């Protein structure tokens, strides 16, 4: 293996859980914030947890913000998880306007406070298991079935402005893009490392794609 699969360590997200889940499907993923190693990576995983602005600040403080953008533009296999998905968009309204990577047009917004289902107010954050509607055929989703459930924890979600990038949608009061895909990039609002069979199938398919690239 000449080029590593790296999980970017910037003190945000369930980093070790993601690493263990990838290892379970055979991916020898390296947890690192070393810019040189990331620059040489054949595939990149960007988890994320917490506030969008905090994640941006940490990436900038570690000198990794622009480097991640460069790796995405190289079109190496890339997996973004939770805030690592949201960061792909132009901006987030969380705690005031914060700019993201700008890979996709669109912004990250908060679920409304007044969402209801059958007369009962829906909780925010959106936390727990919810189903996927597949709207685009993607190799990383080849073993995911319509209606499969995955695990979410979030109060904000991206609103893509570009057609054709949404891979799945999910409904929690409103229907939102729960994952996107373009080229070698796949990113999801849910946590595959917490999503049991479905999540493992996604990570396995991602590793199969990454293995060809490295």
Active site residues: 82, 191, 193
User: CB under 8 Å to 107, separation ≥6 — which residues?
Assistant: 89, 90, 91, 92, 93, 158, 159
28 is written with which tokens?
Answer: 């020898």
182 is written with which tokens?
Answer: 């373009």
Using DSSP bridges, classify how beta strands 98-99 and 78-81 pair: parallel, antiparallel or unpaired.
Answer: unpaired
Helix residue ranges, H only, the chain = 15-24, 35-39, 52-61, 65-73, 83-86, 196-213
Assess contact for 157 and 189: CB atoms under 8 A: yes
Distance CA 181, CA 164 (A): 9
Distance CA 88, CA 83 (A): 9
């Amino acid at each position: 293996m000449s080029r590593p699969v790296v999980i970017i360590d910037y003190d945000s997200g369930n980093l070790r859980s993601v690493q263990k889940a990838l290892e379970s499907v055979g991916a020898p993923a390296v947890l690192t914030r070393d810019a040189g190693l990331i620059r040489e990576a054949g595939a990149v995983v960007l988890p994320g947890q917490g506030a969008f602005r905090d994640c941006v600040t940490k990436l900038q403080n570690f000198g990794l913000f622009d480097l991640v953008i460069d790796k995405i533009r190289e079109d190496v296999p890339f997996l973004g998880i939770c805030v690592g998905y949201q960061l792909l968009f132009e901006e987030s309204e969380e705690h005031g306007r914060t700019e993201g990577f700008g890979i996709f047009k669109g912004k990250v917004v908060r679920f409304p406070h007044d969402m209801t289902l059958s007369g009962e107010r829906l909780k925010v954050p959106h936390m727990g298991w919810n189903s996927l509607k597949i709207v685009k055929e993607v190799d990383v989703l080849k073993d995911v079935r319509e209606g499969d459930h995955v695990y979410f924890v979030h109060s904000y979600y991206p609103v893509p402005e570009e057609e054709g990038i949404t891979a799945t949608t999910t409904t929690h009061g409103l229907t939102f893009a729960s994952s996107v895909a373009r080229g070698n990039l796949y990113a999801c609002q849910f946590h595959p490392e917490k999503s049991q069979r479905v999540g493992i199938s996604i990570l396995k398919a991602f590793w199969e794609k990454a293995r060809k690239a490295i």
